[in-house]
Amino acid sequence: MRTLLTGAEVYTCDGLVKQDISICDGRIQFGAQDMRYDRTENLTDCVIVPGFADVHVHLREPGFSYKETIRTGSMAAARGGYSIVCAMPNLKPAPSSMESLREELDIIARDACVHVYPYGCITRTQTGRGELADLEAIAPYVVAFSDDGKGVQEEASMRSAMLRAKALNVPVVAHCEDEAELVPGGCIHDGQYAREHGHIGINSASEWKQAERDIRLSEETGCQYHICHVSTKETVELVRQAKKRGVRVTCETGPHYLIYTDMDLQESGSWKMNPPIRSAEDRAALLEGINDGTIDCIITDHAPHSAEEKAKGLDNSAFGIVGLETAFPTVYTYLVKTGKMSFQRMIECMCINPRRIFRLPGAISTGTKLREAGIVYHDGLIEGASADLCVLDLKKQYRIDSSTFCSMGKSTLFDGAEVFGEVRANYIGGNIVYPFA
């Protein structure tokens, strides 16, 4: 299949450049070539960027296919412009041994329509407690080790996990939550809204104290360490200082933490996720962290649940919202178009940094030589790389409608939102994965 994409601006190492893209044998070439094309697309007014990469999603299979499946979750990813998603291990069975991981890998091989890379567990039961998983056996097949959904409670366990992960050259990715700091029944940020509406709060210390411990352990062991869904100003500052000391630490946050504060909450389960949306001060610190390079990635934490599980108000609903089909338009509309973040920074956080940190495949230059030479440049699409591309129509304005989601989860904070920016097409290895055939 030979495809010619004409008329678009392309996100290259030289910035956005008006450039035709020729896709031949699944690879990118710049400019139209002297050949017959099977397909030509006129994309005037569109921008072509590397496909998005989300290192934090929940696809629920095996074990919870009433919430989502690899097929529906990866279709949601394709529609959202993602080439790659990394699937968290809170599954049944949890992927802590080769036997349990194989079940997940088989479903991925059969049903995924974008690249899906699984996480392996840190602990055998993925509860943040007890014996460690069979890290050595699963290492070659997982993107990283994580117990996402649970913090690893014992310092000795985390140290031992980091030492083994370091020897395997696999990152440790942590949901930081110190259960000793928590009041049971907490459902939203422990702040003004919780006090005024009589809800039990989830305090900031439960996140940052464990992040502080883990940064110390990463410094001690030399293990590559990445912090999940950072929500507090204290965690941002801890990561900023650790990076200055040269600790191998990176981190992520999600669109909802950057767009909302706890004072936007409503009495609905859609506003419930863990960690919770925090105060205006926390949101400002997160944005500052995005812009000064402290926060590396924007993830969705796509966490689908059934309608019933999300219909029980703030106190009793399940934690989690979906995000794969809304991340790009909401980040673009609320953060880029309003001048809070540049388009380039959005691409770095959603396409470039996830690939670089987790050594994921994709059509980007890592630009090491240029960086060593001290030349300021963009990472971007390069010739010869696999054509994992996303075509964006930035001018398209529309209303988000959760009933059209491919995801089985419909709980979102953006239903009915008027947004700019539509994913027109998504190519992986030169094959069109969205719109669906």
Decide whether 22 or 274 has the Cβ nearer to ligand DOR.
274
Question: What residue type is 356 in one-letter code?
Answer: R
Decide whether 240 or 272 has the Cβ nearer to ligand DOR.
272
CB 21 within 8 A of CB 29: yes
Selected from 320, 354, 367, 430, the binder of ligand DOR by CB under 6 A is 320
CB 330 within 8 A of CB 259: yes
Q: In the complex, what is the shortest distance from the CB of residue 124 to ligand DOR, in angstroms, rounded to a whole number?
A: 18
Classify burial at 274, counting beta carbons within 10 Å of its beta carbon; exposed 0-12, middle 13-18, buried 19 or more.
buried
Q: In the complex, what is the shortest distance from the CB of residue 229 to ligand DOR, in angstroms, rounded to a whole number?
A: 7
Q: Which of residues 92-151 bind ligand DOR (CB under 6 A)?
A: 148-149
Active site residue 111: no
Q: In the complex, what is the shortest distance from the CB of residue 93 to ligand DOR, in angstroms, rounded to a whole number?
A: 16
Q: In the complex, what is the shortest distance from the CB of residue 211 to ligand DOR, in angstroms, rounded to a whole number?
A: 14
CB 382 within 8 A of CB 13: yes
- Kindly write out the interface string for residues 38-77 of this chain, putting x where it contacts ligand DOR by CB under 6 A and - elsewhere: --------------------x-------------------
Decide whether 148 or 325 has the Cβ nearer to ligand DOR.
148
- Kindly write out the interface string for residues 144-183 of this chain, putting x where it contacts ligand DOR by CB under 6 A and - elsewhere: ----xx-------------------------x--------
Question: What number of chain residues touch ligand DOR (CB under 6 A)?
Answer: 10
Decide whether 119 or 328 has the Cβ nearer to ligand DOR.
119
Q: Tokens representing 397?
A: 């304005």
Selected from 259, 303, 335, 423, the binder of ligand DOR by CB under 6 A is 303
Instruction: Report if residue 410 touches ligand DOR, rule: CB under 6 A.
Output: no
Decide whether 194 or 381 has the Cβ nearer to ligand DOR.
194
Instruction: Report if residue 90 touches ligand DOR, rule: CB under 6 A.
Output: yes
Strands 389-399 and 188-189: unpaired
The distance between the two most distant Cα atoms of the chain, rounded to a whole number of Å, is: 69
Give residue number: closest CB to ligand DOR: 320
Catalytic residue among 148, 178, 214, 301: 301
Q: Which of 248, 243, 357 is nearest to 299 (CA)?
A: 357
Instruction: Report if residue 274 touches ligand DOR, rule: CB under 6 A.
Output: yes
CB 362 within 8 A of CB 426: no
Decide whether 77 or 273 has the Cβ nearer to ligand DOR.
273
Query: Distance between CA atoms of 106 and 141, rounded to whole angstroms?
Result: 12
Selected from 10, 91, 194, 273, the binder of ligand DOR by CB under 6 A is 273
Query: Distance between CA atoms of 360 and 59, rounded to whole angstroms?
Result: 19
What's CA 71's distance to the chain center, in Å? Answer: 18
Q: Which of residues 344-373 bind ligand DOR (CB under 6 A)?
A: none
Q: Which residue in the block uniquely carries the two structure tokens 């997940």? A: 104
Instruction: Report if residue 319 touches ligand DOR, rule: CB under 6 A.
Output: yes
> How is 113-130 classified by DSSP, letter by letter?
SSEEEEPBPSBTTSSSSS
Q: Tokens representing 310?
A: 């999300």
Q: In the complex, what is the shortest distance from the CB of residue 148 to ligand DOR, in angstroms, rounded to a whole number?
A: 6
Instruction: Report if residue 323 touches ligand DOR, rule: CB under 6 A.
Output: no
Q: Which of 106, 171, 124, 119 is nearest to 148 (CA)?
A: 119
Query: Distance between CA atoms of 196 and 72, rounded to whole angstroms?
Result: 39
CB 150 within 8 A of CB 125: no
Query: Distance between CA atoms of 289 and 233, rounded to whole angstroms?
Result: 9
Q: In the complex, what is the shortest distance from the CB of residue 340 to ligand DOR, in angstroms, rounded to a whole number?
A: 24
Question: What residue type is 283 in one-letter code?
Answer: R
Question: What residue type is 202 in one-letter code?
Answer: I
Q: In the complex, what is the shortest distance from the CB of residue 36 to ligand DOR, in angstroms, rounded to a whole number?
A: 48
Q: What residue ranges bind ligand DOR (CB under 6 A)?
A: 58, 90, 148-149, 175, 273-274, 303, 319-320
State the catalytic residues. Answer: 301
